[in-house]
């Protein structure tokens, strides 16, 4: 029986992940999943309504939605519908030693995880991002392209780290925090805070 793999979300994130899913699962039927499809196909893949996809026996899904809170809600719906998650890992991804990754993770090309790292569920690690040694990353965290996360960093659930951000070794970033594009984080970031700039400073509380 041909495996059915869904990519939840046909936006930019989903369209960037679709070729990786196809490469990783060449024999599978790969489809996009949306709440209310506005088109029958996208980038050569069929687009199914969520309820129709959830009714397919043994279908599996990955959530390709960059916004952490939206991704969390989608994951809850998938779990309630009895769907199981799969991971997407580009062949150019590098994983070194003693790395644990939760379900539903997306790793784009040229991403790197070094050693002794713990990552929660539904992590998004975009192009050219890395996670250095002894980091702990929570659930539903998003790394935009080229995030540089140095050693002994702790990142709480639902944090969003913008493109080209640099996180100094030993920093803690709280749950739901946002780190702006190009920010250089040299001090801890409280839960829910948004920081921008070099050095990163609080934009709003």
CB 131 within 8 A of CB 151: no
CB 165 within 8 A of CB 180: yes
Identify whether 122 is a catalytic site residue.
no
Provide CB contacts within 8 A for 123, sequence distance 6+: 101, 102, 104, 105, 106, 137, 139, 140, 141, 142, 143
Where does residue 27 rank: exposed (0-12), middle (13-18), buried (19+ CB within 10 A)? Answer: exposed
Catalytic residue among 133, 160, 183, 200: 133
State the sign of the Cα–Cα–Cα–Cα dihedral 100, 168, 89, 8.
Answer: positive
Strand partners, 143: 125, 161
> What is the CB-side half-sphere exposure of residue 88 using CA atoms within 13 A?
29
List, by residue number, the catalytic residues: 133
């Amino acid at each position: 029986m041909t495996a059915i793999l869904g990519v939840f979300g046909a936006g930019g994130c989903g369209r960037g992940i679709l070729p990786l899913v196809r490469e990783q699962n060449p024999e599978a039927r790969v489809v996009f999943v949306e709440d209310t499809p506005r088109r029958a196909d996208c980038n050569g893949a069929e687009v199914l309504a969520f309820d129709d996809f959830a009714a397919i026996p043994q279908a599996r899904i990955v959530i390709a939605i960059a916004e952490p809170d939206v991704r969390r809600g989608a994951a809850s719906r998938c779990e309630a519908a009895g769907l199981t998650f799969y991971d997407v890992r580009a062949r150019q991804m590098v994983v070194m030693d003693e790395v644990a990754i939760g379900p539903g993770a997306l790793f784009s090309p040229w991403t790197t995880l070094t050693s002794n790292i713990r990552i929660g569920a539904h992590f998004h690690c975009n192009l050219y991002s890395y996670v250095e040694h002894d980091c702990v990353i929570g659930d539903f965290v998003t790394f935009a392209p080229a995030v540089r996360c140095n050693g002994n960093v702790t990142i709480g659930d639902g944090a969003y780290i913008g493109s080209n951000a640099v996180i100094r070794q030993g920093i803690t970033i709280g749950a739901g925090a946002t780190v702006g594009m190009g920010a250089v984080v040299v001090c801890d970031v409280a839960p829910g805070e948004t920081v921008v700039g070099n050095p990163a400073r609080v934009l709003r509380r």
